[in-house]
Structure 1
């Protein structure tokens, strides 16, 4: 199940992975960040930029991390040790 987010994404009956893929496809070269509470069953992912857009997915942070890698992103903690969210940047020419 996918929960609606803050941006212009709409509800979907697709799996969370498919909804994530659709969200990424709107701007595949943007930088993304995600965060969730420890052991939470849902995570928030945001597309960074002047028109920041966020959605909430029914995925643990571990599942979201793996899904972002499957979609061609490198994800890591930011350089600032006080930040706890994960940053993701597209690598290579992965579609």
Structure 2
């Protein structure tokens, strides 16, 4: 089975993924992101942490499970990881320099 035919690869042309792409691309390249979602929930909260002083953090609700959002962020060239503190459940993402 090729990766293009796999249902494990997120389809970036659906509305939920399009909203992620628009939100991420509207930010500066150094912006960091985090997201969290309840286990089994079909919704996640994606937040941007600006690299520009004085700019406020902004968040959007996305109609994707956290694991789907994780895969989408990776497809958009982000490195995502869990924090070292096991009590925290959010995932942080940084853009991989090209």
Which deviates the most, 40-49 or 75-84? 75-84
Instruction: State the alpha-carbon separation in 2 of the partners of residues 62 and 82 from structure 1.
Output: 18
Note the C-alpha offset of 1:48: 1.1
1:76 matched to 2:76: no
Instruction: State the alpha-carbon separation in 2 of the partners of residues 35 and 85 from structure 1.
Output: 5
Instruction: State the alpha-carbon separation in 2 of the partners of residues 38 and 19 from structure 1.
Output: 21
Note the C-alpha offset of 1:26: 1.3
Larger radius of gyration: 2
| Aligned counterpart, 2:5 | none
Note the C-alpha offset of 1:83: 1.1
Note the C-alpha offset of 1:80: 2.2
| Aligned counterpart, 1:47 | 48
| Aligned counterpart, 2:18 | 18
Instruction: State the alpha-carbon separation in 2 of the partners of residues 22 and 92 from structure 1.
Output: 19
1:62 matched to 2:67: yes
TM-score normalised by the chain length of structure 1:
0.78
- The aligned length equals 80
The answer for unaligned runs of 5 or more in structure 1 is 1-13
Runs of 4+ in 1 over 3 A off after TM superposition: none
Instruction: State the alpha-carbon separation in 1 of the partners of residues 39 and 33 from structure 2.
Output: 19
Which of 85, 88, 92 is residue 93 of structure 2 equivalent to? 88
| Aligned counterpart, 1:37 | 38
